[in-house]
Amino acid sequence: MAKINDIDRHAYFEKVKTYTSITKALLKTEKDLVLESRKNTPEAPLVKLTLADEMLNLASNYIAVNGVSQAVLKVKNEEALNDARKSIYKAVIYLEEAVSSYIDAPFSDYEEKLTAIEAYDQNQRYYLIRKMGLAIDLIENAYGDNSKWRWTFVEIEGRFATVAKNIVDLKSVYTNKSPESPYYDSTVYHLRLIKKLLAQAADRYREKYELSTGQTLDFKTGINFLAALRRIHIVLAENDESNEIKKKLAIWSAKLETDLKKQEEAKKKKV
């Protein structure tokens, strides 16, 4: 790597001054909002959504700092990228606290949480989810294909898929899917995105199992995401799609059972 000269270094620090100020302001905002969210008030769950949004703003700010580093210094700013990744994690966690982290569960299990954020309409929810998806894509692209964080993003993507699903009020889906509804577009696109994300999460966890960890927990998590996808198809009365996922679930479950038997046999041989 070429040595960074003083002129470029000075230019870099001048260009990131604004981003540094924004970072300080956003961290202060987070601190204040966390205190607000801990109060036992009806608005507390909504504050969690604001926190998630602000952490995505923070992540974007860190990603921009990395962009300046690459443009001016011709090197990645690993510290900024790691801070961006941590900020996205925080955003996901705040959203999980607001809408639950259940991968595959009946809507009734987390319906109460959505009642608490009903003032946050479907258009706002879809915008927040799109914003989170963009932030994740940007940070993954910034790290590159051969990043040491490759498999870490499987978890982030999975948790993102989960909150993207859980933030939708499934009781209002049919009303919102009416062309006359002000939430028609956001509902249709949100549901389409959920199905895509759940399918991707399932495939990514299986890929992680096959190519990296060999841990059956990863495969089981992938199967859980498939089950969540099938549940969505059932809720939406998409029978053909539901049956296709049912077949895929059977194949994956059989594969897992076979692998577990092989592992047990290998253990016995060692003993």
Please tell me the predicted confidence (pLDDT) of residue 89.
97
Place of tokens 């509804």: 181
CA distances from 146 to 107, 142, 151, 223 (A): 38, 11, 10, 26
Q: How confident is the model over 182-213, as pLDDT tens digits?
A: 999 999 999 999 999 999 999 999 999 999 99
Please tell me the predicted confidence (pLDDT) of residue 3.
77
**Residues in the chain with pLDDT < 70?**
1-2, 271
Please tell me the predicted confidence (pLDDT) of residue 259.
95
Rounded Cα distance between 234 and 241, Å, is 9
DSSP notation for 104-163: S--GGGTHHHHHTTTTS-HHHHHHHHHHHHHHHHHHHHHH-TT-TTTTHHHHHHHHHHHH
